[in-house]
Amino acid sequence: MKDNCIACRLAYNFAIDRLRKPMMAYDACIDAATENQPSKFSSRIDGAIQPASLDFKKVKFPSAFDISKEWTIQRDFLHPWMKERNLHLDTISGVFNNNYGAALNQWKVAKWHKDKMPNFHGRGGKLSSIWRGRSIKQISRKTFELPKGNGTFRLGCELRFDGEVRSVTFSQSAGDWYASFLVKTDLPKPDPAPAGTVVGIDVGVVQFASLSTGEQFPPSMDYAKELEKLAKLQRQLSRMDGPIRGQRKASKNWLKQQKRIQKQHQHIANKRRNYTEIVSKSVATRFETVAIEDLKIRNMSASAKGDDVTPGKNVAQKAGLNRSILNGGFYQFRTRLEAKVNARGGQVIAVNPAYTSQTCAACGHTAKENRPNQATFKCVSCGHEDNADVNAAMNIMIRALNNVTVRDEKNADHQGTSTPASLPTESVGILAQEVVKQGALSDMKGWKNCSMQRSTRCGLFNRCGWS
d(CA 158, CA 86): 29
Q: Determine contact, residues 212/389, Cβ cutoff 8 Å.
A: no
Does position 8 have pLDDT exceeding 90, yes or no? yes
Burial class of residue 72, CB neighbours in 10 A (0-12, 13-18, 19+): exposed
pLDDT of residue 433: 46
If you write DSSP's letter for every residue of 254-318 in order, what string do you get?
HHHHHHHHHHHHHHHHHHHHHHHHHHHHHHHTT-SEEEEE---HHHHT----B-SSSB-SSHHHH
For 19-32, what is each residue's pLDDT tens digit? 877 555 545 555 55
Give residue 323's Cα distance to chain centre.
17
For 406-425, what is each residue's pLDDT tens digit? 344 444 444 544 555 555 54
* Residue from 84, 122, 114, 120 nearest 99 by CA: 120
Using 50, 70 and 90 to split pLDDT, how confident is the model at 237? Answer: very high
State the average pLDDT over residues 210-219.
91
For 316-334, what is each residue's pLDDT tens digit? 887 888 787 888 888 899 9
Q: Determine contact, residues 340/287, Cβ cutoff 8 Å.
A: no
Catalytic positions are 202, 293, 389
- Count Cα neighbours of 374 within 13 Å in the Cβ-side half-sphere: 4
Using 50, 70 and 90 to split pLDDT, how confident is the model at 3? Answer: very high
d(CA 378, CA 360): 8
State the average pLDDT over residues 363-368.
87
pLDDT of residue 124: 80
pLDDT of residue 62: 83
- How many other CB atoms are found less than 10 A from the CB of residue 248? 10
State the average pLDDT over residues 12-21.
88
Using 50, 70 and 90 to split pLDDT, how confident is the model at 10? Answer: very high
d(CA 186, CA 163): 8
Burial class of residue 304, CB neighbours in 10 A (0-12, 13-18, 19+): middle
pLDDT of residue 44: 38
d(CA 91, CA 147): 11
* Residue from 98, 91, 24 nearest 64 by CA: 98
pLDDT of residue 28: 55
pLDDT of residue 223: 84
Higher pLDDT, 455 or 242: 242
CB neighbour list of residue 152: distance below 8 Å, 6 or more residues apart:
139, 143, 144, 145, 146
pLDDT of residue 49: 45
d(CA 450, CA 430): 13
d(CA 214, CA 460): 9
pLDDT of residue 220: 82
Helix (H, G, I), strand (E, B) or coil at 390: helix
For 285-313, what is each residue's pLDDT tens digit? 999 999 999 888 777 788 887 776 777 77
Higher pLDDT, 446 or 410: 410
d(CA 403, CA 405): 6
Model-wide pTM > 0.85 = no
